[in-house]
Amino acid sequence: MESLYAITTGILTACGLFLTLRGRSFPVVVGLTLLSYAVNLFLFSMGGLTTNGAAILDGGGSYADPLPQALVLTAIVIGFAMTAFAVILAMRARGDMGNDHVDGRQVDETREERR
């Protein structure tokens, strides 16, 4: 189970990173989102993988580690804010620079590219 989880996290990370290395803004944003899923999964697993042990106290039994959960919960929300900021920045960049390249060039895109 643990190895499968780790492999999945690794693949998500790799896919996210590959997209953040692209040259246009939208794939970068998608990559960031994918990467934040991977990071959240990774952080979440730092408390171990527990089945049927939600940290809702009911008098007994063992519970999953609540601390990484609390951290990841806020991370999800902040991750959303970051994605939103990045994508709006991408829109703004396109509006101001005339294209959606991520290297800051200021060339208007062709009509073909606009679609």
Partner 1 sequence: MTLLWIPLLTLLGVLAPMCLERYGRNLCSLGTATPPAIALLLALNQVPALMAGEVPRIAISWIPQLGLDLAFRLDGLSLLFLTLILGIGLLIILYARYYLAPEEPFGRFNAYLMLFMLSMVGIVMADNLLLLWVFWEMTSLSSFLLIGFWSSQSDARKGARMALTVTGAGGLALLAGFLLIGDMVGSFNVGVVLDSADVILADPRYPIMLVLVLIGAFAKSAQFPFQFWLPHAMAAPTPVSAYLHSATMVKAGIFLLARLHPAIGDSAMWGWLVTLTGMTTFLYGGWFALLKTDLKGILAFSTVSHLGLITALLGIGSPMAILAALFHILNHATFKAALFMCSGIIDHEAGTRELAKLGGLRRAMPITALLMSLAAAAMAGVPLLNGFLSKEMFFKETLDAGLLGGLGWLLPLLATLGGVLSVAYSLRLVHSVFFKPAKTAPPKHPHEPPRLMRVPVEFLVMICVAVGLFPAVLATGLLNLATEAVLGRHLEFHLAIWHGVNAPLIMSLVALGCGVALYGVHPSIRRFVRQFATTDARMIFENSIQRLVARSQSLTERLENGSLQRYMSLLLGAALLLATLGLLELPQLAGGMPEGELDGVLILGAALLIFGALGTVVTHRYRLVSLLMLSVVGLVVSLTFARFSAPDLALTQLSVEVVTMILLMLALFFLPQKTPRESSAHRTIRDIALASALGMVVASLNYAVLTREIDSISRFFIDNSVPGGGGHNVVNVILVDFRGFDTLGEITVLAIAGLAIFKLLNRLRLFMPHSDAEGRVWSPDRYPMILTSVSQWLLPLALLVSVFIFLRGHNQPGGGFIAGLVTAVALILIYMARGVEWTQSRLDFPYQLVAIGGVAVATLTGLGSWLFGRPFLTSAFGHFKLPLIGEFELATAMLFDLGVYLAVVGATLMILANLGKVTTPHRPTKDAQPATSKEKS
Range 9-68, binding partner 1 (CB under 8 A): 9-30, 33-34, 37-38, 40-42, 44-58, 63-67
C-alpha to C-alpha distance for 49 and 34, rounded to whole angstroms: 21
SS3 111: helix
Angle between helices 25-45 and 66-97 (to 10 degrees): 170
Least Å from the CB of residue 90 to partner 1: 7
Site for partner 1 in 90-109 (CB under 8 A): 90-92, 94-96, 100, 102-104, 109
* Structural contact between residues 64 and 51, judged by C-beta atoms closer than 8 angstroms: no
When the beta carbons of 102 and 107 are compared against partner 1, the nearer one is 102
Least Å from the CB of residue 62 to partner 1: 10
Comparing CA positions, the residue from 32, 31, 39 lying closest to residue 9 is: 39
Comparing CA positions, the residue from 18, 24, 8 lying closest to residue 101 is: 24
When the beta carbons of 52 and 107 are compared against partner 1, the nearer one is 52
Least Å from the CB of residue 106 to partner 1: 11
Least Å from the CB of residue 55 to partner 1: 4
Per-residue tokens: 64: 């999953």
